[in-house]
Amino acid sequence: MNQRTLKRPASFEGTGLHTGRNVSVCVKPAAPDAGILFCRVDLDPALRVKASFENVRSDEMRQTTLVVGDGRVRTIEHLMAAFHGIGIDNALVEIDGDEIPGMDGSALDFSRGLIEVGLEEQAVARRFLEIKEPCFVDQGDQSIVILPAPSFSISYMLSYRDDDLHDQYLSLPIVPEIFERELAPARTFCLKKEAELLLSQGFGKGANPSNTLVFERNAPIANTLRFEDEACRHKMVDILGDLFLCGKFIRGHVIASRSGHALNVELVRKLMMTNPPETPVFSKTLTVEDIQKVIPHRYPFLFVDRIENFEPGLRATGFKQVTMNDYFFQGHFPGHPVMPGVLIVEAMAQVGGVIMLSETDNRGKIAYFMSVDSVKWRAPVRPGDELRMEVEVVKKRSRFGQCSGRAYVKETLVCEADVKFAVVDK
């Protein structure tokens, strides 16, 4: 089974369940092994954060939130469940606010929208997390366990021990057809007394009867159930979204009782402690001699001294030591030496060329510029600076590729750009 991404972008717009603010989302195709990446395009510079358990804040109430520094993306679980449920390995999620829209409170709109634009198989094998031995998290009367199994399934027992919502139980194998029909339409919910508490604490500002089931006396207020056990089914949707933070599809049987987001994510943390990510086979450091074996550039137009964290076809970090001996300082602001901005973009493009041309099918070829987009220069680069360029492939086909790059001096962002290449024979 190979990895999959989207054939073309899918757009969504709505109100955040907790913030109550309008937000737009565009889900774009991504390269193999990129995983799910969220990008806050409303921030300057844009915030990029991978959908990983390592970036999750577990103290956010009734939601799963990604956090990097002061930036965050809230309530990702329903979109993540759609990726997991219908089988999308790689995607770039661009969002212009801090919370994924709630839509109708389920994963249905996301699933339909993603399926509508079409899924594309990629020429890289899907990564699975095979459960070899039981793993569990137990917090008093809440628990979640995952057991070895040849395929993925979830069993959930919902028990609020409250007359406003009776106990429910369901067990299902997880395959795209079952997810779309049996789980994606199940909406988020809470008890009436919980809704009042959430509002008093500043949450649930975008919740209303059209996107949230509010239970009182075992029935939703001003709403009609889609399933008799819809609350239980939605808990299974949350598990699907949260477990995909491990970055792989799972082969195992999940059994949960009264678990929520914090417990789900804790299970992922525990799983990844016993199943650490594999070190990429090709991850290494390239010297300048290695670089010259991949791209044709030579002095005085080679602007990369070394490359680290190198993963052919995926990503790399390039470095250039900027010195007063660099030839361009002779004529570019000689009384005020500053590295030309176009050469910073060229340096990032050279790192991208190494990433693209290092793949087996592209060796011995040349990568030509097709276009440069979203270029921004943010700070000067002067003699004595070490330029660090973080570049990753965001789209890749047989004859062209697109890379996203950022250049830093220490921790200061100095330049960013998206570069498209055409890969041609010499």
Tell me if 327 is assigned to some domain.
Answer: yes
In this predicted structure, what is the pLDDT of residue 281? 45
| Structure-token match 């199943």, residue found | 275
Tell me if 281 is assigned to some domain.
Answer: no
CATH code for position 343: 3.10.129.10
Q: Which of 65, 77, 75 is nearest to 15 (CA)?
A: 75
Report the domain count for the chain.
2
8 A C-beta contact, residue 79 and residue 93: yes
Radius of gyration over alpha carbons of the chain, in Å?
Answer: 24
In this predicted structure, what is the pLDDT of residue 59? 53
Tell me if 299 is assigned to some domain.
Answer: yes
Q: Does 307 share its domain with 254? A: no
8 A C-beta contact, residue 37 and residue 88: no
CA–CA distance, 356 with 363 (Å, rounded to integer): 9
| Structure-token match 């757009």, residue found | 11
In this predicted structure, what is the pLDDT of residue 303? 96
Phi, psi of 296 (to 5 degrees): -85, -5
What is the pTM (predicted TM-score) of this model? 0.70
pLDDT tens sequence for the chain (426 residues):
899 999 999 999 999 998 889 999 999 999 888 899 999 999 887 888 899 998 897 555 678 999 877 789 999 999 999 999 999 999 999 999 999 999 999 999 999 999 999 999 998 899 999 999 999 999 989 999 999 999 999 999 999 999 999 999 999 999 999 999 999 999 999 998 888 877 777 767 888 888 899 999 999 999 999 999 999 999 999 999 999 999 999 999 999 999 999 999 999 999 988 876 554 444 478 988 889 889 999 989 999 999 998 988 888 999 999 999 888 988 888 888 999 999 999 999 999 999 988 877 787 888 998 999 999 999 999 999 999 999 999 887 767 889 999 999 998 999 999 999 998 887
Tell me if 280 is assigned to some domain.
Answer: no
In this predicted structure, what is the pLDDT of residue 278? 54
8 A C-beta contact, residue 17 and residue 23: no
Burial of 172 (0-12, 13-18, 19+ CB in 10 A): middle
Domain of residue 26: give its range. 2-274
8 A C-beta contact, residue 386 and residue 353: no
| Structure-token match 């477990």, residue found | 243
The residues annotated with a catalytic role in the active site are: 261, 332
In this predicted structure, what is the pLDDT of residue 115? 98
Q: Does 379 share its domain with 401? A: yes
CATH code for position 73: 3.30.230.20
Q: Does 332 share its domain with 360? A: yes
8 A C-beta contact, residue 40 and residue 47: yes
CA–CA distance, 395 with 416 (Å, rounded to integer): 17
Could you give the strand order of the β-sheet that contains 56-57, starting from the edge strand earlier in sequence?
56-57, 65-68, 71-73
Q: Does 59 share its domain with 187? A: yes
